[in-house]
Structure 1
Amino acid sequence: MEKDKAVDSRAAMDGEIGILARRKIEAGIIAPIYEVMRERLGEEVAQSILDTAITRAAIAAGKSFAAKTPGGTTLRTFQELQDLWTQDDALVIEVTKATDEEFHYNVKRCRYAETYKEMDLGHIGHLLSCNRDGVFCTGYDPRITLERTQTVMEGASHCDFKYRFDAKAKPASE
């Protein structure tokens, strides 16, 4: 219950809606723009443009979260953000490792993937959502890296997230 209050109060402080609801709204805005790009430029170029734009937005979001993190960023502070992505039952996850150097979990259910498929956007869902994961953490703290070999979005039974923290690497603020 306390954990839920922390998530609610953080969202209320920011005046933000949950990330799943935000992604659905964004996808509704992006879909017709993407269709025009696809018609005029072709699928490959349209996807490349979308990938570049979302990557830039994810890095900027990571930097914004980092700037609001009291005392600086670590893998532990990054782990605390996970509640924002699981809010509203958006993800069902199983954490398999959570230390100062590694954070591993499997996503058993992904409502982001379900939402994009319901919106007939499954073919670009990886661009709208999954591709953000690795670059968000880079924006948040370049010492954090993600290894993932499969996603629900692309048809796997689960997503396998393995974040690592390299304490020897140079932090963004230096």
Structure 2
Amino acid sequence: MKEDKAVASRAAIEGEIGILARRKIEAGIIAPIYEVMCEKLGEEFAQSILDTAIRRAAIATGKAFAAKTPGGTTLRTFEELQELWTQDDALTIEVIKATDEEFHYNVKRCRYAETYREMGLGHIGHLLSCNRDGVFCTGYDPRIELERTQTLMQGAKHCDFKYRFDDKTPSDSK
């Protein structure tokens, strides 16, 4: 990463712990709650509740990151946030395309998936992590959309992230 990008990124995310560490802490808290929800409500309903709650939290988190982004949000400022997700070797990624309008990359290794499996939570890892991605970017900037057709979490050989920036979509005022 270029020095000026690194400085801007650090300013935008100052004081934040890596996402992998955060997700492991959250999963440790969520797991016993999820188990009780399954016992009382059934697995399908428990997963639905978990999915809804985590998606809402991801949107709120995206908005919080946007509020801390100096000068407003773009696909480039979103791209700079990726160092939080890759911190601590959490992801091994291969960037395919990085422009002002598109940011495409493949995830070759995902320690989020590995961590959830180690914790016995692989069956809900997609709810705890993957399902956040598309709604986080919407919370961060509604002009950013994610297309992804496969994930390591659900057995694919890699995750394919394709973010697009649509400047015709109204952005939230920042």
Q: Is the alpha carbon distance of 1:165 and 1:97 closer, same or farther for their aligned partners in structure 2, counting shifts above 3 Å?
A: same
2:28 aligns with: 28
1:46 aligns with: 46
The aligned runs of 1:24-173 (5 Å cut-off) are 24-173=24-173
Normalising by structure 2, what TM-score?
0.93
Q: How big is each residue's C-alpha offset from its partner over 1:130-161, in whole Å with a ceiling of 9 and x where there is no partner?
A: 00000000000000000000000000000000
Q: Which aligned runs of 4 or more in structure 1 are off by greater than 4 angstroms?
A: 5-12
3-state SS of paired residue (2:131): helix
Q: Is the alpha carbon distance of 1:66 and 1:24 closer, same or farther for their aligned partners in structure 2, counting shifts above 3 Å?
A: same
Query: What displacement does 1:13 show?
Result: 3.4
> Unpaired runs of 5+ in structure 2?
none
The reply on whether 1:13 has 2:14 as its aligned counterpart is yes
Q: Is the alpha carbon distance of 1:134 and 1:81 closer, same or farther for their aligned partners in structure 2, counting shifts above 3 Å?
A: same
Q: Is the alpha carbon distance of 1:160 and 1:119 closer, same or farther for their aligned partners in structure 2, counting shifts above 3 Å?
A: same
Query: What displacement does 1:7 show?
Result: 9.6
Distance in 2, Cα, partners of 1:13 & 1:81: 11
Q: Is the alpha carbon distance of 1:49 and 1:12 closer, same or farther for their aligned partners in structure 2, counting shifts above 3 Å?
A: closer
Q: Is the alpha carbon distance of 1:113 and 1:20 closer, same or farther for their aligned partners in structure 2, counting shifts above 3 Å?
A: same
Query: What displacement does 1:67 show?
Result: 0.5
3-state SS of paired residue (1:105): strand
Aligned pairs, number: 172
Contact 1:75 1:144 in 2 (8 A): yes
> Unpaired runs of 5+ in structure 1?
none
Distance in 2, Cα, partners of 1:17 & 1:85: 10
Distance in 1, Cα, partners of 2:13 & 2:103: 27
Query: What displacement does 1:106 show?
Result: 0.1
Distance in 2, Cα, partners of 1:11 & 1:63: 13
Contact 2:90 2:112 in 1 (8 A): yes
3-state SS of paired residue (1:76): helix
Distance in 1, Cα, partners of 2:35 & 2:2: 43
Distance in 1, Cα, partners of 2:65 & 2:21: 19
Q: What is the RMSD of the two structures over their aligned residues, measured on CA atoms? A: 2.0
| Percent of paired sites with the same residue | 81
3-state SS of paired residue (2:92): strand
Distance in 1, Cα, partners of 2:130 & 2:2: 29
Distance in 2, Cα, partners of 1:12 & 1:79: 12
